[in-house]
Structure 1
Amino acid sequence: ETLKERAILQAAAEALATFGSQAIRTHIVSKTDAASDMLEVYLLLKEVGLYDPAAPGACPIQAAPLFETIDDLRAARATLERVLAEPSARAVAEARGVQEVMIGYSDSNKDGSYLTSGWELHEASRALLEVTHAAGVRLQLFHGRGGAVGRGGGSAFSAVLGQPAGTVAGRIRVTEQGEVIANKYGEPEVAQRNLDALTCGTLLASLGPQSDADYSAEHGATAARLSAASMKAYRALVYETPGFVDYFRAATPIAEIADLKIGSRPASRTASPAIEDLRAIPWVFSWSQSRVMLPGWFGFGSAVQGEDPAELRAMAEVWPFFRTVVQNMEMVMAKADMAIARRYAGLVPDAALAERIYDAIHAEWDRTVAAVLSITGQQALLGAQPELDRLIRQRMPYVEPLNHVQIELIRRRRAGDDDPRVRNGILLAINGVAAGLRNSG
């Protein structure tokens, strides 16, 4: 395994020798939870001649941590402090002028709910800025955003404006993945408009009034309470409800998604059926296909119970971070359909289990819709965004029949029908639903 990793870096060294020092700049360390995870990279870079202990600042590749889970985000400050205390890593950062840090939206969401993920990312970003400032280097955050709201998707412009003060400062790096690439950059005019929006957001976040610190000080305690309550409600369903894994695997097309090999990686990191081992993309994608969209909203309705409605409305009105959270939830909930979700629940062999868990999901749905409408002061979801509402409503008559076709074909296939046309039909239905919902995976 070590030789395999060294071979990758040897190929990187050859690429740098062939194409120049800008060819490969960063080595991202997934699931960083200790300083040693990053220092190991420099050890391997030394093995292939890219890192010289006598001149560490000349290393052309910087090790960048990726903090993904809730626990890793909470430990990010201590981890980066330990890394920058090492002369080798500090020298690379000083020579580069920045320390790049990647933060992950998908696994933090799967860990603790959409709201908790957003808040922990916000607080980790602030902490990382303080660490790099104390070390005398600049911070460059690399946002690992997916297409779906449950993986950090939504308006890139609003997301940039919602970042903590000082964390953009003229520099930001974001991922664009999957169908988002075609949707946002497939046509020159559309690509230019999206790049304009991202550039504009970066300029406004860098040069505009830096008010996030004030709002965090005023409303941070409330946001932290909401985050804790949301995570409690989410984990109670996903990780603590008996039979939830069986429900999820029967009431969504996760098995078909994994079998159809339409992703770049296996659906699970291991052979285990546990949610913890499932990759975030199929987790979010399967809930989107079944029209529940659970990763994009579950937990919020329970979280706001007992909170001051006036403060929540004020937070959504003035605090870009919280406003973006609410707007993204509103958008993804407008694409959900609990009636269609009930039909997918009918795929669960255990009818009592299906009813129990579906009812729990539907009850939280009702609480969350009521909460969003109370905060926004609207009569219906997307009431203040009529153009977006119109676009979504226009697509739904084409998406809904595909959901019903998909359910019937899945039922046949799971009953033992191995006709290739059934398999192909499921694939076509999955592709059609994804295309109609757009930012779904």
Structure 2
Amino acid sequence: MANNTRNLEKLASIDAQLRLLVPGKVSEDDKLIEYDALLLDRFLDILQDLHGEDLKETVQECYELSAEYEGKHDPKKLEELGSVLTRLDPGDSIVIAKSFSHMLNLANLAEEVQIAYRRRNKLKKGDFADENSATTESDIEETLRRLVVDLKKSPEEVFDALKNQTVDLVLTAHPTQSVRRSLLQKHARLRNCLAQLYAKDITPNEKQELDEALQREIQAAFRTDEIRRTPPTPQDEMRAGMSYFHETIWKGVPKFLRRVDTALKNIGINERVPYNAPLIQFSSWMGGDRDGNPRVTPEVTRDVCLLARMMAANLYYSQIEDLMFELSMWRCSDELRVRADVLHRSSKRDAKHYIEFWKQIPPNEPYRVILGELRDRLYQTRERSRQLLSHGISETPEEATFTNVEQFLEPLELCYRSLCSCGDRPIADGSLLDFLRQVSTFGLSLVRLDIRQESDRHTDVMDAITKHLEIGSYREWSEEQRQEWLLSELSGKRPLFGPDLPKTEEIADVLDTFHVIAELPADSFGAYIISMATAASDVLAVELLQRECHVKQPLRVVPLFEKLADLEAAPAALSRLFSIEWYRNQINGKQEVMIGYSDSGKDAGRFSAAWQLYKAQEELIKVAKQYGVKLTMFHGRGGTVGRGGGPTHLAILSQPPDTIQRSLRVTVSSEVIEQCFGEEHLCFRTLQRFAAATLEHGMHPPVSPKPEWRALMDEMAVVATEEYRSIVFKEPRFVEYFRLATPEMEYGRMNIGSRPSKRKPSGGIESLRAIPWIFAWTQTRFHLPVWLGFGAAFKHVIKKDIRNLHMLQEMYNEWPFFRVTIDLVEMVFAKGDPGIAALNDKLLVSKELWPFGEKLRANYKETKSLLLQIAGHKDLLEGDPYLKQRLRCVIHTYHNPSMLPGLHTETGSAIQTTA
């Protein structure tokens, strides 16, 4: 093997390796490499013990060939790798594939721990000088300091903005998290072991024990099936999502808010953030998103809401008992004393179903008396939810439970006021304040469940009603006719239909969903989102259905604009909606609009979608201001660049000015939930990033684009859309090429999520969901949906006038939106490799389609070259040396990215041959 091939032989001992890892002895990147070496070394030992020396040597040979190819991009090395893989029998292929997948996971874990360690060191030193803005995401303390010191904002102004802003993080269950929860938990334990190895005071015995723990978890992860053998149900997805609240988010929120208090004190504000300030809120789509998912039924929605309330009650229950131990004081306010005396006289029985404080609490412990009654009522609340979930009915009367969060907060607020009035504010500002903040944040259901349904399903219901009433076909009416009829019904009081309404299964499903909303407590729900919304009647129809199904506290109705044409028409649609007096009175000056990043990108390409999303937000805000409405933008972003993903801080700061008016909703897609909330420090960092960026955008908005920049973007967007659609939707060879060159068909067979990969089983590219569309191209490292259209747009305007190249460079240097857009595509190019796509063509694609593949790869190279010109870079990621170094160390040298696509190619070839 080549001299620069990494030596994978085991070092002499754990101590010898750990000496290389002592902080301060080696560089940050060396520590990353040696951590990876330690994990890889332990894994290879395990692999040899389980499968023998020969298979270990095959893994090493593949590893080294892959590393050589990644270093030199020599096609011969890729061919040699393919030759080795071809010789494997099916059993060994499975073990090899699993081995490299496992090695990739281990390398990722090593990188995550190293980044966390590096970040902590930077925070200690207050030094971010060597990090590019694309990777520096300020914490809340740094943001407050910059606003006051650098931007000359007054501390009081900053405090007022902060305590009145809201960030609502919406957890989704999109089929993007392919890693099983069993493995995620093992990875978390591995991260913990690695983090402990960084400790300076670690003893020899502890090193040995940690090494044993590492080996144990590495082997356990390797022996665990990576693939779900049965698809998860929506209830499974909900339980998995809610587990993050129990494990990290529950404690992470009060920890984050305490850091905010500290940061405020450091800028001269001696007040704490009010416990009921809505800085962070959580919502969910798990069990509520029924758009194209027939498995999300009204029964499922009911179950997940009740389950969430049970989970919340369990968390609160244990916390209340902790508070009962803590608040043992006898001195209290007269107000609390009177309440405690009344409760003590009315409660004479022992509660044998409690472990702690099961006997009657004496009157000289007034706080415990108050908290005891709170615990009793919470117990009944939990029991009612459990009984309803299990049997559909409950013996526990609703009046014995908490029906809203205000009832739960009131006795806690009483305790807080009493402690403060008696000179015990330090005690009040301890665990009790944390608990008040948790109750204010999570309510009685941990998260509020959004309901999402496609607009056509509501049209079907309305059509059935109008036909039953013999007044015509709603579906065939014009928009004006629909609005006129809907408003007349909304203004009247007569019921529209009774039990005799003819219902298909689909119509019954829609109506039963509204009945579930009416049945359950109002604080279980958030918004009702209409996907594929195009007109004001889409919103009015949902308002009418809520009334007809007796929803006492109607959900706010949120239109979702996704495709390019819908985004272009969205401002006019919103204006027509706001022009309706009945609707303006209904919304009380507040409206929410959701914009979709995934489907817009799939529809028109990333370039045109990004620009149209930017313009749509500007116009929507103008419409809202015209009617005196406060508009909250709900960003439906995915985790990958192709689905609108990117660094949180920059994603927020590159939004148009005035579009984040102290309120932001954003989806946290399932594949990034683990990255955001998998560990306590990740949760803490995520909350800081969102809060800090939202505050900064509001107080220091980004620059608006110059008129000439807008004109150039408009011109380029037309060209980019035309090229993208001409290839993806109009090129007759594309569909066949896509299905042969990528694992799109195999993705549809995987048990990743409860939702089907297509909206319509028999449809083509148009019906394929954005998620499998992006993931299929990612697996081949070609990333076509991310870059297609950029090259044609740049080439067109530069060829037209060379001065446009200078304007593009000016836009890159001065306009955050354009810079972020270019930087993200550049990062994707740094991860891409057209050589893998070429190998796919050779082994998987028919010869007649090879010229088409070559044309796409030529487009890839031309686009990359033009993008580098605009960024002023000679090499990819030249402007972000830290990220470039990470990719070099982790991806190109250790992740073996050619290895797994290589196995995919060989396996795909075998599947096609068998078929």
TM-score normalised per structure 2: 0.43
Partner AA of 2:575 in structure 1: E
Change (3 A) 1:228 1:281: same
Whose relative contact order is higher, 1 or 2, with alpha carbons under 8 Å and at least 6 apart?
2
What SS class does the counterpart of residue 4 from structure 1 fall into? helix
For residue 524 of structure 2, the aligned residue among 23, 41, 51 is 23
In the alignment, what sits opposite 2:709?
Answer: 219
Note if contact 1:112-1:231 (Cα within 8 Å) is conserved in structure 2: yes
2:637 touches 2:643 (CA, 8 Å); kept in 1? yes
The answer (yes or no) to whether the contact 2:844–2:908 under 8 Å persists in 1 is no
In structure 2, do the counterparts of structure 1 residues 166 and 190 end up closer, same or farther at CA, with 3 Å as the change threshold? same
Give the conservation status (yes or no) of the 8 Å contact 2:546–2:554.
Answer: no
Map 1:305-384 to 2 at 5 A: 305=795, 306-307=797-798, 308-353=804-849, 355-384=850-879
Note if 1:12 corresponds to 2:511.
Answer: no
Q: Does 1:173 align with 2:671?
A: no
Matched with 1:425 is: none
CA-to-aligned-CA distance 1:167-224 (integer Å, 9 cap, x gap): 0011111101122111222111122222212222111110004522xx2534111111
Contact 2:741–2:845 at 8 Å: present in 1 too? no
1:228 and 2:718 aligned: yes
The one-character-per-residue Cα deviations of 1:117-169 (angstroms, maximum 9, x if unpaired) are 00000111011101111111101000000011111001121111111111001
Q: Structure 2: how far apart are the matches of 1:66 and 1:43?
A: 18
CA distance in 2, matches of 1:216, 1:76: 23
**Residues 1:135 and 2:627 are matched in the alignment:** yes
The answer as to whether partners of 1:302 and 1:367 remain within 8 angstroms in 2 is: no
Asked if structure 1 preserves the Cα contact closer than 8 Å seen for 2:654 and 2:702, the reply is: no
Residue among 729, 735, 753 paired with 1:263? 753
Give the 3 Å change call, closer, same or farther, for CA 321–368 of structure 1 in structure 2: same
The 1-side partners of 2:843 and 2:609 are apart by: 30
Is the 8 Å Cα contact of residues 658 and 701 (structure 2) preserved in structure 1?
no
Q: How does 1:41-440 map to 2 (within 5 A)?
A: 41-50=542-551, 59-94=553-588, 97-212=589-704, 215-305=705-795, 306-307=797-798, 308-353=804-849, 355-393=850-888, 394-396=890-892, 397-416=895-914
Residues 1:40 and 2:532 aligned together: no
Q: Distance in 2 between matches of 1:242 and 1:198?
A: 44
Q: Is the 8 A contact 2:653 2:702 kept in 1?
A: no
Change (3 A) 1:41 1:154: same
Among the aligned pairs, what percent are the same residue?
37
8 Å contact kept, 2:527–2:555? yes
**Corresponding letter in the other structure for 2:729:** Y
Distance 2:842 2:687 in 1: 43
CA distance in 1, matches of 2:732, 2:509: 40
Give the match's secondary structure for 1:276.
Answer: coil
The answer (yes or no) to whether the contact 1:62–1:92 under 8 Å persists in 2 is no
In the alignment, residue 205 of structure 1 is paired with which amino acid? H
Query: How far apart, in 1, do the equivalents of 2:512 and 2:706 lie?
Result: 46
Q: Secondary structure at the match of 2:873?
A: coil
Q: For residue 261 of structure 1, what is the amino acid of its counterpart?
A: N
Distance 2:754 2:612 in 1: 28
For structure 1, the 5+ residue unaligned runs are 52-58, 418-441
Amino acid at match of 2:562: E
Q: Count how many residue pairs are aligned between Structure 1 and Structure 2.
A: 401
In structure 1, what residue type is equivalent to 2:882? E
C-alpha deviation, 1:40, in angstroms: 1.1
Q: Counterparts of 1:6 and 1:88 in 2: how far apart (Å)?
A: 23
CA distance in structure 2 between the aligned counterparts of 1:72 and 1:142, rounded to whole angstroms: 16
Question: How big is the shift at 1:273?
Answer: 4.2
Cα drift, residue 324 of structure 1: 1.0
C-alpha deviations, 1:284-327, integer Å up to 9, x for none?
00000111111111110110113311100110111111111101
C-alpha distance in 2 between matches for 1:229 and 1:359? 21
Q: Which has the larger radius of gyration?
A: 2
Following superposition, the deviation at residue 360 of structure 1 comes to: 2.1
1:3 is displaced (CA, Å) by: 1.9
- The amino acid across from 2:680 in the alignment is P
Amino acid at match of 1:383: E
- Point out 4+ residue stretches in structure 1 off by more than 4 angstroms: none
